[in-house]
Amino acid sequence: MPIISASGLARTFTARTGPVHAVRSVDLTVMPGEIVGLLGPNGAGKTTTLRMLTTLLAPTGGAATVAGCDLAADPAGVRGKCGYVAQSGGVDPQVTVREELVTQGRLYRLSKADAIARTAELAGQLGLGGLLDRRTAALSGGQRRRLDIAMGLTHRPAVLFLDEPTTGLDPGSREDLWALVRGLRDDFGTTVVLTTHYLDEADALADRLVVVDGGRVVAEGAPAALKTEHTGSPDASLHDTFLAITGRAPAAADTAPLAV
């Protein structure tokens, strides 16, 4: 049974020049334990789709369920079953890693003792154990992203949504986060849905890719299957496959990031 099911999901914004159809009609099915990558050109509707599925933005059309909870009828249930890590993160630079994680636990209504215990557990799982008393402003980019993910996992969600999780990270930090995401799936059965502009990341990490363009799903499948279907070879690059599907080259962010 799917853990995420969306049908005709849509979002239209009102602008001075008229309606803007950010997401026109997205049909999406994700099975438990999958790592699914959302790809698409800039402005394709990837982040808007994630924001709708996490109840941060109300759809203007369609329907969806996340972990058995209806997006419209039970948004609190959806929020209790999913974690969301935004592109920019959301940590307070003035507090320590420990304070940030304990506060997050308390916001999820854990008792103080349970929040402290969960902080220690997450720190061990995500390699933050030696950083608990460091202010978040002093963390490296990779360390901050691990903290962002830890915060998204505080309430043990069934589904974790990651929006551009490795943007700006050096190659070593990116590979560390890839290993972390695989571990969440393999060790805890967490379903992961991520957006990324890095095609090498999507190719290496995702079990299945969903390509969005113009606010609609235009292709989906395992990376090798998409390559075979759209280029004729399972050994083709995902760059060429993306170009064949969308008719456009990937955004500049698809190139490897600079070391930081």
156-209: pLDDT as tens digits: 999 999 999 988 888 888 888 899 999 999 999 999 999 998 999 999 999 999
pLDDT, position 229: 96
Q: Give the pLDDT of residue 260.
A: 28
pLDDT at 34: 97
- d(C-alpha 6, C-alpha 192), whole Å: 16
Q: What is the pLDDT of residue 78?
A: 96
Please tell me the predicted confidence (pLDDT) of residue 197: 86
Tokens 């456009």, located at residue: 248
pLDDT of residue 256: 39
**pLDDT < 50 positions in the chain:** 253-260
H or E segment to which residue 147 belongs: helix 141-152
Q: Any residues with CB less than 8 A from the CB of 111 and at least 6 apart, and which?
A: none
3-state secondary structure of 98: helix
Per-residue confidence (pLDDT) for residue 210, from 0 to 100 = 97
Domain regions of the chain by residue span: 4-90+142-254
pLDDT at 257: 39
Question: How much is the pLDDT for 172?
Answer: 86
Question: Which architecture, in CATH terms, is 4-90+142-254?
Answer: 3-Layer(aba) Sandwich (3.40)
At 25 the pLDDT is 94
Tell me which amino acid residue 64 is.
Answer: A
DSSP 187-225: HH--EEEEE-S-HHHHHHH-SEEEEEETTEEEEEE-HHH
- In terms of Cα–Cα distance, which of 136, 46, 26, 51 is closest to 91? 136
